[in-house]
Amino acid sequence: MFYHLTPLSFSPESIASRVTSRGWIGVDLFFVLSGYLITGILLDAKSSPSYFSSFYARRILRIFPLYYSVLTVVFVSTRFRQGELGNDQIWYWLHLSNLRTAFGHSWNSILSHFWSLSIEEQFYAAWPLVVFWVPRRKLGWLCILIAFICVMLRNLPQVQLLNHTYPNFCYRFTVLRLDGLALGSGVAVLRRENQLHCELRRFAGPALAILATASVLVLVFRHAPESAVMTRVGYSLFAMTFAAAVYVCQDTRVAILRATPLLKCGAYSYGMYVFHYPILVILRTPGTAFVPYELRLAVALFATYLAAWCSWHLIERRVLSLKSYFKY
């Protein structure tokens, strides 16, 4: 969020701007967490007769109502320029906007951020089949293989050339962003291999320290997500760092992660994701240029939290109560 809000909230030469300009790596943490949580759910429910039906029904209840409500409001109420969103609605309705925007410039629209959710939905569609058919121990090796293939593909000269032509190609194309989801899934598998988990647990802390140090060094000298350093090794390095962090945090009581404000943000996080970018676009209008950076940041954060709070209590919580009909 702070990465997206940087142009709105901080002067370009400020230290805060230099720090938040690296905030795009938050999406890599998002992918690792998603792979970890979803794979854990699937592994624990693998023997359930309602494995597929319950999973897909519960994911639909979580994602679709708010997402499609926003799409409907946007497409009905706003007249988009020819060639921007007017002719490209189908990519959003089908959760494929990341594939469309991978081959073009990032649209400065209120739906620009939905590319990451598109990758998530594609992951939800295919991964339950993989988890169901592949034995757990082999699934762990498959996760490692997927991450390895992903980084190899991004290093191909043809892929680097495409990324030079289309700066969002490596950043948004599904096959090239699977390492985070795969490594997060691998952590979920490892957590359920008790003997291997006990043997590797003592190495997790030092591994996290080494990976985190390397990640910081890369971010200090390179920060653009489309740069060659990032596309070749950066994405995978961050994915490994966040996977190690998730693994360590499961065995460590990190007090700040249990703070009430963060738990509230966790409850409202989907709504905050959906609404923060539209609010940013609104506050970027020329009429707000005279407003101080700090005030615009405060307004953006408050408006995002308020919108997510309303969404949770008016829409999401009521819809999620239907999950009781789709238990494993």
Q: Which residue has the higher pLDDT, 195 or 57?
A: 57
Q: Which of 221, 129, 234, 124 is nearest to 181 (CA)?
A: 124
Q: Which residues contact 258 (CB under 8 A, 6 or more apart)?
A: none
Q: 231-267 burial by CB neighbour count: b if 16+ within 10 A, else e?
A: bbebbbbbbbbbbbbbbbeeeeeeeeeeeeeeeeeee
Tens-digit pLDDT profile for residues 296-322: 888 889 999 999 999 999 999 999 999
**Which amino acid belongs to residue 316?**
E
CA 38/CA 322 separation, integer angstroms: 19
What three-state secondary structure class fits 254?
coil
Q: What is the DSSP string of 213-253?
A: HHHHHHHHH---TTSHHIIIIIHHHHHHHHHHHHHHHTTS-
Q: Where is pLDDT greater, at 227 or 84?
A: 227
Higher-pLDDT residue of 62 and 254 is 62
Measured CA to CA in angstroms, residue 87 lies from 111, 200, 211 at distances of: 14, 51, 43
Could you read off the pLDDT of 260-293 as tens digits, one per residue?
988 888 999 999 999 999 888 888 777 666 777 7
What pLDDT does residue 64 have?
96
Which pLDDT band holds residue 74 (cuts at 50, 70, 90)? Answer: confident
Q: What is residue 5's predicted lDDT score, i.e. its pLDDT?
A: 77
277, amino acid identity: Y
3-state secondary structure of 211: helix
Residue 82, pLDDT score: 47
End-to-end CA distance of the chain, in Å?
Answer: 34
Instruction: Round the CA-based radius of gyration of the chain to a whole number and report it.
Output: 20
Whether the predicted pLDDT of 75 surpasses 70:
yes
Confidence of residue 13 (pLDDT cuts 50, 70, 90): low
pLDDT tens digits, one per residue of 162-212: 999 999 999 999 999 999 999 999 999 999 988 888 888 888 889 999 999
Global confidence as pTM: 0.91
Q: Confidence class of residue 8 from pLDDT cuts 50, 70 and 90?
A: low
Using H for helix, E for strand and C for coil, what is the string for 65-76? HHHHHHHHHHHH
Q: What mean pLDDT comes out for the span 11-30?
A: 82
Across the range 15-26, mean pLDDT stands at 84
* Burial of 274 from C-beta contacts in 10 A (0-12 / 13-18 / 19+): buried
Question: Within 10 A of 313 (CB to CB), how many other CB atoms are there?
Answer: 12
Q: What is the pLDDT of residues 100-143, one digit of tens each?
A: 889 876 555 788 899 999 999 999 999 999 999 999 989 999 99
Report d(CA 282, CA 193) in Å as an integer.
Answer: 48
Q: Residue 106: what pLDDT?
A: 54
In angstroms, the CA 103 to CA 158 distance is 14
Q: Is the pLDDT of residue 157 over 60?
A: yes
Write down the pLDDT at residue 251: 74
The yes-or-no verdict on residue 9 having pLDDT over 70 is: no
DSSP letters of 152-210?
HHHTSHHHHHHHHHSTTHHHH-GGGGHHHHHHHHHHHHHHT-HHHHHHHHHHHHHHHHH
- Mean pLDDT score, 88-106: 86
**Using an 8 Å Cβ cutoff, are 243 and 183 in contact?**
yes
DSSP state for residue 1 in the 8-state scheme: -
Q: What is the DSSP string of 97-131?
A: HHHHHHTSPPP-STTGGGHHHHHHHHHHHHHHHHH
Report the pLDDT value the prediction gives residue 298, as an integer from 0 to 100. 86
Q: Spell 144-157 as b/e; 16+ CB within 10 A means b.
A: eebbeebbebbeee
Q: What is the dihedral of CA 49, 51, 52, 56, to 10 degrees?
A: 130
- Compute the mean pLDDT over every residue in the chain, rounded to the nearest whole number: 89
According to the model, what pLDDT value does residue 11 have? Answer: 64
